[in-house]
Amino acid sequence: MYLARKVLRPAGQVITAQDIQNELDAVKTLCRDNLHDNLVHVYGHGGLPEARSQFFIDMELCSFNLRTYIYDPEKCVSDTTLPPGYRVESIPSRSIPANIWDIMKQISEGVAFMHNHNHVHRDIKPENSAFPKFLQF
Amino acid sequence: MWKIADFGFVAQVSSKIRNRTSANGRGTHGYRAPELCTENPLYSTKTDVWALGCVLHELAFRQSAFCGDWAASEYGRSNKKLEFPGTKDLRWHDSDKLALSTILERALAVKEFFRPSADDMVNLIDNIIKDLDALPDEPTPLSLSSPPPAAEQIADRPDVDVHDEERSETDPESQTGSEEEPTPSPQRTIKRQCSQCTRSYVVPRDFIKHDKTWLGQIREYSCSDCQGSFARNEVAFNPNACR
């Protein structure tokens, strides 16, 4: 089992302590117990013992994000952990991935779940939607 | 299975609609809605839907919808219709193109009132997937050469289409007699009359009914010009036009 640990540290004006508190609160309410399939699963969170101002979030490891999938699909080809429907064979330029509606539906479902739990994700973009590395079938 | 990550900017709103949090410089340039480019930016759930529309645009065309905040606010201030880059090159089915442009125009509406909620987005995409699955793989060519329906006949639109089809099948004289009609046999099209400007326009035959709301009905029976002006809230709509 592999995890990705995201370390948060308040650094000046870009990320404030309030942001970190917001993120921890949101993760606590939205990502626990695999509530929704289309939100990244978080296994744990807390503060690092050596520095009091540092926090971490343990989330599932993701192999690539949607931006890589759109603009550089060759990187995603080598990934053999993908199920057959999502595996990218060579995409010629100026054509579209056939499962565009499927991808879009999954992302919208995740956003709709957040909205129904009274949270707004204020930074939706292709970089922030990722494909997990180890899928459980 | 795609997952949403990075909850760094998540904020809580106490109610789903009409509740906003301040957004001072949050989000990423290019995915920010025009209402965030004002002096006093406020964030609501509809602003997430704008970003969803940007993601869909990028998925479909491999090109970002707006290259920055300036482009988005410029689009919000101008009354231009949304332009799609190089749609002719894409090997899309006609109904797929139509579904894409319809859902993009709604998600990227300037006024946030006209954007669908995220739940509506899921329903719209669900309907699109269902309708695309129901389509036959190879479109059968249909020759529809008929005059546009008269003003009295608009009241029963589905019947008009049936009549035209029967007439073209039964007597070939009417088909050969109309030389000035361009024969749209490869595209399966229907002629309709716009309920707003009463001008005849052509839609693909496998037009997808996206939603059953009054807004969807009006959009279904209006030409593309009227739809674009409606997205920008220029035209004052009369509810009687929606049947």
ipTM: 0.83
User: Is the CB of residue A27 less than 8 Å from the CB of residue B7?
Assistant: yes
Encode pLDDT of A28-85 as tens digits. Answer: 888 777 788 888 888 888 776 666 667 888 888 888 888 888 877 777 766 655 655 5
User: Is the CB of residue A64 less than 8 Å from the CB of residue A75?
Assistant: yes
Residue B33 identity: A
Q: Is residue B184 part of a domain?
A: yes
Q: What is the CATH number of the domain that holds B67?
A: 1.10.510.10
Range of the domain at B171: 151-241
Which pLDDT score is estimated for B140?
42
Query: What value does the mean pLDDT take over residues B143-171?
Result: 46
Residue B68 identity: G
Encode pLDDT of A93-126 as tens digits. Answer: 444 555 788 889 999 999 999 998 888 888 888 8
User: Is the CB of residue B12 less than 8 Å from the CB of residue B29?
Assistant: no
pTM of full prediction above 0.80? no
CB contacts under 8 A, B 97-156 vs A, are: 117-119, 121-122, 125-126, 128-129, 132
Query: What value does the mean pLDDT take over residues B44-72?
Result: 85
Boundary (domain end) residue, out of B134, B161, B193:
B134
- Cβ within 8 Å, pair B3-A123: no
Which pLDDT score is estimated for B136?
56
Residue A20 CA to residue A57 CA, distance in Å, equals: 10
Report all structural domains of chain A as residue ranges with CATH numbers, in order of start: 1-60 (3.30.200.20), 63-137 (no CATH)
Q: Which of A107, A117, A136 to mutate to test the interface with B (most CBs of B within 10 A)?
A: A107
Q: Using 50, 70 and 90 to split pLDDT, how confident is the model at B242?
A: very low
- Nearest-Cα residue of chain A relative to residue B99: A101
My answer on whether B174 and B215 are in the same domain is yes
Q: Strand, coil or helix: what is B42?
A: strand
Smallest CA–CA distance, residue B153 to chain A, in Å, is: 37
Which pLDDT score is estimated for B95?
66
Q: Is residue B4 part of a domain?
A: no
User: Is the CB of residue A21 less than 8 Å from the CB of residue A74?
Assistant: no
Residue A67 CA to residue B129 CA, distance in Å, equals: 23
Smallest CA–CA distance, residue B11 to chain A, in Å, is: 6
> A111 contacts in B (CB within 8 Å)?
4, 48-49, 52, 118, 121
Domains identified in chain B, total number: 2
Give A42's strand partners. A59
My answer on whether B128 and B157 are in the same domain is no
Q: Based on the number of CB atoms within 10 Å of its own CB, is B94 exposed (0-12), middle (13-18) or buried (19 or more)?
A: middle
Boundary (domain end) residue, out of B82, B99, B134:
B134
My answer on whether B31 and B115 are in the same domain is yes
My answer on whether B117 and B216 are in the same domain is no
Boundary (domain end) residue, out of B102, B134, B166:
B134
- Cβ within 8 Å, pair A40-B89: no
